[in-house]
Amino acid sequence: MMQLFFRVEGNEFIGLGHIMRCFVLSQVAQQANHEVVFLCDQASKNFLLSRHQWQGEIVVIDDRYWNRTFAVTDANEQNKSEMDFIATCMSGFDSKKFAGSRQILVIDGYQFDHSYQETVSKSGIPFAYFDDINTFLQQNKTHVANVVINGAGSAHKLGYENNTPNTRLCLGPQYLLLRSEFINVPLIPIVNRDSLLIFFGGADAENHTVKMLGALSQLKFKYPIKVVTGAAYKFQKQLVESIQNGWLNYDNLQQPISMPIQYTHDAQDMADIMSHSRLSVSAAGGAQFELMRCYTPSVLIVVADNQMPAASASAQQGWCRSIDGRNKLDYTVLAKQVTADYDDIKSLVAMQKKAYEWVQSATYSGADNVLSVFKDVLNRQS
């Protein structure tokens, strides 16, 4: 038996992608009778407890254990403070409740930089790191994690072989983590789908959702729209009031809403929503793999650096478009593209066919494969 400790956060600033993929891995681990403990802040705990089928232990790391008053020059002391608490926590769980379990720490988040991971490595605790763009190679640094995981199709092009001399690599779609609801999704033909999906991730800190709705209304878009916002979205009140009033603040004008809108906050049936959408406008990231699995043609908006490699690879597969929205996004141009795409049934059918071909060529046992690597690494250390 293994015991997995997840050090991860999810909030309105960094989004929910990191914590969601850890949640997926934790679900599969528990199904295999492994123990799961999340180490996170209070906001992340609240999010986890709101998930359907949540199980596991949660330990809140707050200011008592991670002294955030350290100056930047004392980052090493800050890392050590947190690592001392984590080590004590893991030791306590092992002795009190899970005696005899082999333990591994799973880290996900770019705040856990190379200095932080060196501190973890020096502690002697085996650990895995979820990565997306191999930033350490760009910084001329070597990975010190026992395991590095990147389930995107672009992972093999990021040069991990050049800076992982002592690290097991879990790269490519065979290590992609998908929630169970996306494993067996029926193929619903484009002609039987009748809505546009707008979903900018768990946080949408820039409020792309409202801006996109405004641009579409400006063009008198008339088709039904399903709007989904994540649990960390902080503009929910504004959006609900706008939909109820039938007006949006867009481009310094009061823009009348031109289409029917069905709004869902913190949806937990995304597979059903995605698989019934004719076209999606979504933030790139973990959602893109779910959209492909639902055979849904998409316009992926890259809103963070770590999303670019996987989004570009998905666009090359032919089932979606990829648009760089990291600096300035022209919503009017985007709305025109989306309107044209939505009306082009022939093109959407072709994109869906590409998605189907890629889905059929893939295997969806990523979490099981990651856990197998964890077991092997721990066995070699015992």
pLDDT of residue 253: 82
pLDDT of residue 142: 98
CA distance 379 to 382: 5
- One domain, residues 119 and 132: yes
pLDDT of residue 93: 83
212 within 8 A of 197, measured Cβ to Cβ? no
At position 260, the amino acid (one-letter code) is: P
Structure tokens at 85: 């608490």
The pTM score is: 0.91
CA distance 311 to 161: 22
The domain that holds 69 is classified in CATH as 3.40.50.2000
- One domain, residues 23 and 160: yes
Instruction: Tell me the CA end-to-end span of the chain in Å, nearest whole number.
Output: 13
pLDDT of residue 70: 45
**Domain tally, the chain:** 2
- One domain, residues 322 and 369: no
- One domain, residues 343 and 210: yes
- One domain, residues 72 and 213: no
- One domain, residues 188 and 268: yes
- One domain, residues 340 and 203: yes
- One domain, residues 214 and 155: no
pLDDT of residue 101: 76
Q: Which domain holds residue 217?
A: 181-361
32 within 8 A of 132, measured Cβ to Cβ? no
What is the chain's pLDDT, residue by residue, as a tens digit (382 residues)?
A: 899 999 999 988 888 999 999 999 999 999 999 999 999 999 999 999 998 888 889 999 875 454 444 444 577 888 998 999 999 999 988 766 666 679 999 999 999 999 999 999 999 999 999 999 999 999 999 999 999 999 998 999 999 999 999 999 999 999 999 998 998 899 999 999 999 999 999 999 999 999 999 999 999 999 999 999 999 999 999 999 999 999 998 888 888 999 999 999 999 999 999 999 999 999 998 999 999 999 999 999 999 899 999 999 999 999 999 999 999 899 999 999 999 999 999 999 999 999 999 999 887 899 999 999 999 999 998 7
- One domain, residues 191 and 137: no
3-class SS of residue 202: coil
The residue whose two tokens read 């899970």 is 98
pLDDT of residue 63: 53
CA angle 56/60/64 to nearest 5° reads: 155
The residue whose two tokens read 């992608």 is 17
- One domain, residues 170 and 278: no
Handedness of CA 290, 176, 112, 43 (dihedral sign): positive
DSSP of 220-242, one letter per residue?
A: T--S-EEEEE-TT-S-HHHHHHH
35 within 8 A of 53, measured Cβ to Cβ? no
pLDDT of residue 1: 87
- One domain, residues 29 and 132: yes
- One domain, residues 129 and 203: no
